Structure 1
Amino acid sequence: MAEGPGELVAAGEILTMLGVGRSRFRQIQQHPAFPRPYQTLSVGSIWLRSEVEEYIRLHRRPRPADDEE
């Protein structure tokens, strides 16, 4: 049996991963390093979770913990 590409995520999951709203996510998608969608379906695009996580690791600042100023 062939293995799939890996875990997939849609915009809703990515919003949560990034901690942003839809309009900010649209801006982030324009960043040259943001991964291209794995596939675009009639209901929207999907991405490989591993590629989105790698983008976040390399290009997003860590968010401070709730108890930090």
Structure 2
Amino acid sequence: MASTGEHDDCARPGDLVTFGDIRAWLGVGRTRGYTITRDRDFPAPWFTSTDGTVRLWRRTDVEVWLDANRPGWREQG
């Protein structure tokens, strides 16, 4: 697997979130989650596997986006 994201810096596993984590925070299904994470305003994945099946985001990037675009998301979970 190779990193194709914008970030080349190191990250610990706890710093990263999966597509499933994002879907759970948003409370949406797979199709809606896919649409949201592919939107140009959503943070780019920190890591994408060469075949595109694995995408990981920096937790802080996603949390900033959620705070700005989904107020109250922290209380819902």
Give me the TM-score of the superposition, normalised by structure 2: 0.66
Q: Does 1 or 2 have the higher relative contact order (CA < 8 Å, sep 6+)?
A: 2
**Alignment partner, residue 12 of structure 1:** 20
Q: Which protein is bigger by CA-based radius of gyration?
A: 1
> Which deviates more, 8-17 or 36-45?
36-45
Q: 4+ residue stretches of structure 1 with deviation over 6 A? A: none
Q: What is the identity percentage for the equivalent residue pairs of Structure 1 and Structure 2?
A: 32
Counterpart of 2:42 in structure 1 is 34
Q: Which has the higher helix share?
A: 2
Could you list the runs of 5+ residues in structure 2 that have no partner in the other structure? 1-9
Structure-to-structure mapping, 1:1-69, within 5 angstroms: 4-5=10-11, 7-41=15-49, 43-62=53-72
Paired residues, what number?
Answer: 63
Q: Give the RMSD, CA atoms, in angstroms.
A: 2.3
TM-score of the aligned structures, taking structure 1 as reference length: 0.73
| Structure that is richer in strand per residue | 1
